[in-house]
Amino acid sequence: MTDLKAESAKQNSEEHAVFLEAENIVKSYGGVHALKGVSLTLRAGEVHGLVGANGAGKSTVIKVLAGLTRADGGRIRIDGRDVEVATPHQASDLGMNFIHQELAFIPSMTVMENIMLGLPKKTHFGWVDWAAIEKDIAPIAARVGLKASLSTNVKTLSTAENWLVNICRALVRKARLIVMDEPTASLSANEAERLFAIIEDLSRSGVAVLYVSHRLDEIMRLCSRVTAFRDGRSVACLEGETLTRENLVEAIVGGAVEPLVREERHAIDGPVALSVSGLKRLPRVRGVDFSLRKGEVLGIGGLVGAGRSELARLIYGADRVDGGKMELNGIPFAPRSPSEAVHKGLGFVPEERRSEALLLTKSLAFNMQIANLSNIIRSPALPLIDYRKRRTKSEEIIRDLAIKTDGVDTPVGRLSGGNQQKVVIGRWLLRRPDVLILDEPTRGVDIGARGEIHRLIRDLAAEGMAVLVISSEPDELPDLCDRVLVMVEGLITRELTGEEMNRNAIIEASYAQAS
């Protein structure tokens, strides 16, 4: 790939004018300031990074630009003129399109129908002329490398393919700005490289890209300028020589961050908490064997699609097992449901927290206590919830995990992604399971919260809990885990310990062919 960062900077300085200016945007929810005055300037053809800790205001300003919420103050200019963005339709008409981390599509519709949602369609004698529409869309689909047929149902596509569908939708709408929120969070390394090439092509054609990510290596690679938010304010706009990783981190957290020191790891000799033998659910899990000891943090690495999440779901009782056996604390373990697994001593933080772990319209207290109702009832004889106890215990977790919220009654859907993740983890802190499985625990989490979650995981293990961590980031597992297993095509293909447990070894093992 060419040096997109340098090329974009040169293009913007020589050719491209300012497309969008957001000045001093202010927004409050229930008297709490989400935005205290943020500003953002985007140029045509620019790849512009937006970074900040969870709760810094990134999602809120995107909602303002998208017309999903109204700002309380400030102004937005497009091509130098003041505009009002009151609805998503108006945002689209102004040339702005948004691809959120939780991709928006209707699974019962085809690729072409999803691309054309909300747009006027060509007709023939009063009927929608899909053949003519397909001729118009096909070149755009080819441009972004979408190989799936336009008549394919989107529910059969991978996450990477659905990203391409969303980019097609933006280009069909003649987008001048595409906002991408955590675009590589669920993509493999090869899929991410393809996306980077598409971003390069968009930039060359004059489309501006606002790239929102916690992955600073990607920000440094792609972006010619980066705006940093902190505590609802824009605190820095870095470019050229000032755009360094150190300056980004300092802008995000408000000071230099001490690197996490890798602790000396010793062999864990505690009793086996979880034993898995020959576990399978074809075709994604093809016979997995491993053991996890009390006090151990065991990592599972590998590429997206290797079967790691499917393995976690089998252990948790969310999916039916085709074969194999498990033991929990030396006792045969074959949960028929997640509730049975929880009752027997398992906890699970899934990869998709919004759709699989949280009820977004319910409060923090409700979401934290949903797995702990037996601990907050008045008495066994009177199984009614003690709301004072629920509030007290929830407030303790909010303090311990430094969750940014108005209070325990706040709907969890209003929180940032990192704070939502803390709520899910807090649920299991209250219950204290024997085994805790975390699938991508720091996905979409800022650098500060990532360190907090890592320390929390190590503390839980030090207290005797057995922890299984699944991560697609090869840099994450070596510093966190006592051992790392690498999964390829539904099988555990390698175990890494000691000095061999490093980033390069995990990547190499992840691309090895399974037998």
Q: Is the predicted pLDDT of residue 453 greater than 90, yes or no?
A: no
396-449 confidence digits (pLDDT tens): 889 888 888 888 999 998 887 778 888 999 899 888 999 999 999 887 777 777
- Which of 155, 174, 193 terminates a domain? The answer is 174
What is the C-alpha to C-alpha distance for residues 182 and 187, in angstroms, rounded to an integer?
10
What mean pLDDT is predicted for residues 110-138? 90
Q: Is the predicted pLDDT of residue 515 greater than 60, yes or no?
A: no
- Which of 135, 157, 174 terminates a domain? The answer is 174
| Residue among 54, 20, 23, 52 at smallest CA distance from 37 | 23
Q: Considering the chain, what percentage of its residues have pLDDT values greater than 70? A: 92
Whether residues 167 and 191 fall in one domain: no
What mean pLDDT is predicted for residues 472-489? 89
- Our CA angle for 216, 219, 223, nearest 5°, is 160
What is the C-alpha to C-alpha distance for residues 221 and 209, in angstroms, rounded to an integer?
14
Whether residues 11 and 140 fall in one domain: no
Whether residues 82 and 16 fall in one domain: yes
Whether residues 113 and 77 fall in one domain: no
What is the token pair recorded at 314?
């089998």
| Residue among 366, 327, 374, 368 at smallest CA distance from 346 | 327
Residue 141 within any structural domain of the chain: yes
What is the C-alpha to C-alpha distance for residues 443 and 426, in angstroms, rounded to an integer?
16
What mean pLDDT is predicted for residues 90-98? 93
Cα 479 to chain center, whole Å?
20
pLDDT band at 238 (very low <50, low <70, confident <90, very high): very high
Name residue 391's amino acid: R
Residue 101 within any structural domain of the chain: no
pLDDT band at 112 (very low <50, low <70, confident <90, very high): very high
- Is this model's pTM higher than 0.85 or not? no
Whether residues 170 and 280 fall in one domain: no
Residues 451/260, Cβ–Cβ less than 8 Å = yes
Whether residues 11 and 84 fall in one domain: yes
DSSP code of residue 363: B
Residue 123 sits at φ, ψ, to 5 deg, of: -125, 160
Mean pLDDT over each residue of the chain, to the nearest integer: 87
pLDDT for the residue numbered 7 = 54
252-292 confidence digits (pLDDT tens): 877 655 544 555 556 678 899 999 999 999 888 999 999 99
- Which of 174, 204, 223 terminates a domain? The answer is 174
CATH number of the domain to which 496 belongs: 3.40.50.300
Whether residues 288 and 325 fall in one domain: yes
Residue 195 within any structural domain of the chain: yes
Residue 454 within any structural domain of the chain: no
Classify 34 as helix, strand or coil: strand
Whether residues 111 and 131 fall in one domain: yes
Residue 455 within any structural domain of the chain: no
Name residue 104's amino acid: A
Query: Partners of 438 in the beta sheet?
Result: 349, 469
Classify 182 as helix, strand or coil: coil
Residue 459 within any structural domain of the chain: no
pLDDT for the residue numbered 260 = 47
What is the token pair recorded at 468?
């299984």
pLDDT for the residue numbered 1 = 43
As for how many domains the chain has, the answer is 4
What is the C-alpha to C-alpha distance for residues 302 and 106, in angstroms, rounded to an integer?
30
Whether residues 145 and 38 fall in one domain: no
Classify 459 as helix, strand or coil: helix
Mean pLDDT is lowest, of 3-12, 80-89, 96-105, 244-253, for: 3-12
Residue 474 within any structural domain of the chain: yes
pLDDT band at 343 (very low <50, low <70, confident <90, very high): very high
What mean pLDDT is predicted for residues 106-131? 89
- Sheet holding 272-281: strands in order across? 285-293, 272-281, 323-328, 331-332
Whether residues 147 and 188 fall in one domain: no
Residues 158/180, Cβ–Cβ less than 8 Å = no
Whether residues 276 and 336 fall in one domain: yes
Whether residues 137 and 196 fall in one domain: no
pLDDT band at 16 (very low <50, low <70, confident <90, very high): low
What distance, in Å, lies between the first and last C-alpha atoms of the chain?
33
Instruction: Label residues 11-31 b or e (16+ Cβ within 10 Å = b).
Output: bbeeebebbbbbeebbbeeee
294-326 confidence digits (pLDDT tens): 999 999 998 777 899 999 999 999 999 999 999
Residue 4 sits at φ, ψ, to 5 deg, of: -60, -40
pLDDT for the residue numbered 270 = 87
What mean pLDDT is predicted for residues 366-384? 81
What is the token pair recorded at 259?
């690197």
What mean pLDDT is predicted for residues 152-181? 89
What is the C-alpha to C-alpha distance for residues 349 and 356, in angstroms, rounded to an integer?
9
Residue 312 within any structural domain of the chain: yes
Q: Which domain holds residue 413?
A: 353-432
Q: Is the predicted pLDDT of residue 82 greater than 90, yes or no?
A: yes
Separate counts of helices (H) and strands (E) for the chain: 18, 24
pLDDT band at 10 (very low <50, low <70, confident <90, very high): very low
